[in-house]
Structure 1
Amino acid sequence: MYEFIKGTVEFISPEYIVVENNGVGYQISTPNSFIYSGKLETMVTVYTYHYVREDIMALYGFETREEKRLFTKLLNVSGIGPKGALAILASGEVQQVVTAIENEDESFLVKFPGVGKKTARQMILDLKGKLQDIVPDFFPNLFNADQLPIHTEKNNTAFEEAILALKALGYSEKEIKKIAPELRKEQLSTDQYIKNALKRLLK
């Protein structure tokens, strides 16, 4: 719903900041609200994720789109909610988290609040090999050349957009994961990815 909010930082607490835009103060939970300590009364852009459930409606905010995308990927892991995802990002060791996922290092992942062995294993199963589209720009030295996907950035974006479209259509993670490996090998437009995916899903 909200891609970002641009406004003035009016208040900072340990859990959230308040950004004023056109007379409205938005309460935004962030991984580390105190990074805005030197920005009170100054204009900022906060990339936001609007979280809605039956019992909660909240805005979560990030300095960069890459952080926001990492947050949304973590939310897709069973056992990790917004608070847990924020705690992982707030550690300041996101690069180590990605490395741990790629190396299947459960002992590192269980160090985070609310992450037990089962959740750590789920993080690895769900995210291993799926963060390269974010990490090269965010942490350019993390993956070497032979580990990067063979697709161009444009094709990676098209694939991700297609996956999002399939989820919006109501297909489950389990169903999508079955066809994703073969689908990813192709270099197509978003529309073509969706059409090919639907052919596989409807077989």
Structure 2
Amino acid sequence: MFEFIKGTVEFVGPEYIVIENNGIGYQIGTPNPFIYSSKMGTMVTVYTYHYVREDLMALYGFVSREEKMLFTKLLNVSGIGPKGALAILASGEVQQVVNAIEQEDESFLIKFPGVGKKTARQMILDLKGKLQDIVPDYFPNLFNADQFQHEAAAAHHAEFDEAILALKALGYSEKEIKKISPELQKEQLSTDQYIKKALQRLLK
């Protein structure tokens, strides 16, 4: 129904953001709402999926079409609903998820929140061989290990930078952030995970 919504970031919460467009505020659930903290009051494009069920109608939003398409594919897996699909996307990059499914890496998939061995196996059964068509440009060479590692490193660097911007938007000083940055950079995490870990350190 909605391919994307372009508007101003008016609110960022732990589970959703609000985008204002022509006087209407759209509540949109996203994998990592806090990546929009640094974009408060600015214009953004959010790729949206309109989810409709008898007892639920909701908008879910993503930073790219590729992320949105993977979300829709995950919804087709038995045992994975919108919250589960968002949790997977919040914890892993599109490349990582696709790579794990194609290589049947169950041990990697069960690291995602809410994904046990049964669900990981179901993801592989339902999606293996069906993802390359939706992410050809985003992940053109699925089994190029060197390229994967390079892209993953670049992605994690971007995730760290986004987390730092979010912390600044939350009011933390440069001095406070620099104090915990070396420890954070030792790990490869998603933006949301970086933010959570940083807040744990800052609130000690």
**TM-score bracket for the superposition, by shorter chain length:** 0.5 to 0.7
Query: Following superposition, which runs of at least 4 residues in structure 1 exceed 4 angstroms of deviation?
Result: none
1:126-165 deviations in Å (ceiling 9; x for gaps): 1001111123311234346xxxxxxxxxxxxxxxxxxxxx
Q: What is the deviation of 1:36?
A: 1.1
Asked whether the equivalents of residues 15 and 29 of structure 1 are also in contact (C-alpha less than 8 Å), the reply is: yes
Amino acid at match of 2:105: D
2:46 is equivalent to residue 42 of structure 1: no
Asked whether the equivalents of residues 66 and 94 of structure 2 are also in contact (C-alpha less than 8 Å), the reply is: no
- Identity over aligned pairs, percent: 88
Q: 1:194 maps to which residue?
A: none
Partners of 1:121 and 1:13 lie apart in 2 by: 33
Comparing 121-130 with 104-113, which one deviates more in the overlay?
A: 104-113
2:132 is equivalent to residue 132 of structure 1: yes
1:96-175 equivalent positions in 2, closer than 5 A: 96-143=96-143
The SS at the match of 2:137 is: helix
Q: 1:156 maps to which residue?
A: none
1:187-198 equivalent positions in 2, closer than 5 A: none
Asked whether the equivalents of residues 48 and 59 of structure 1 are also in contact (C-alpha less than 8 Å), the reply is: yes
Q: 2:175 maps to which residue?
A: none
Amino acid at match of 1:9: V
1:97-146 deviations in Å (ceiling 9; x for gaps): 211111111111111111111111110011001111123311234346xx
Aligned Cα RMSD in Å? 1.3
1:12-51 equivalent positions in 2, closer than 5 A: 12-51=12-51
Comparing 76-85 with 126-135, which one deviates more in the overlay?
A: 126-135
Q: 1:151 maps to which residue?
A: none
Partners of 2:115 and 2:11 lie apart in 1 by: 30
Partners of 1:5 and 1:94 lie apart in 2 by: 21
Asked whether the equivalents of residues 51 and 60 of structure 1 are also in contact (C-alpha less than 8 Å), the reply is: yes
Paired residues, number:
144
Amino acid at match of 1:18: V
Q: 2:94 maps to which residue?
A: 94
Asked whether the equivalents of residues 104 and 124 of structure 1 are also in contact (C-alpha less than 8 Å), the reply is: yes
Partners of 1:83 and 1:44 lie apart in 2 by: 23
The SS at the match of 1:66 is: helix
Larger radius of gyration: 1
2:73 is equivalent to residue 70 of structure 1: no
Comparing 6-15 with 95-104, which one deviates more in the overlay?
A: 95-104
Asked whether the equivalents of residues 2 and 48 of structure 2 are also in contact (C-alpha less than 8 Å), the reply is: yes
Comparing 99-108 with 24-33, which one deviates more in the overlay?
A: 99-108
Asked whether the equivalents of residues 88 and 94 of structure 1 are also in contact (C-alpha less than 8 Å), the reply is: no
Q: What is the deviation of 1:80?
A: 0.4
Which consecutive residues of structure 2, in runs of 5 or more, have no partner in the other structure? Answer: 145-204
Amino acid at match of 2:48: T
The SS at the match of 2:2 is: coil
Amino acid at match of 1:15: E
Which consecutive residues of structure 1, in runs of 5 or more, have no partner in the other structure? Answer: 145-203
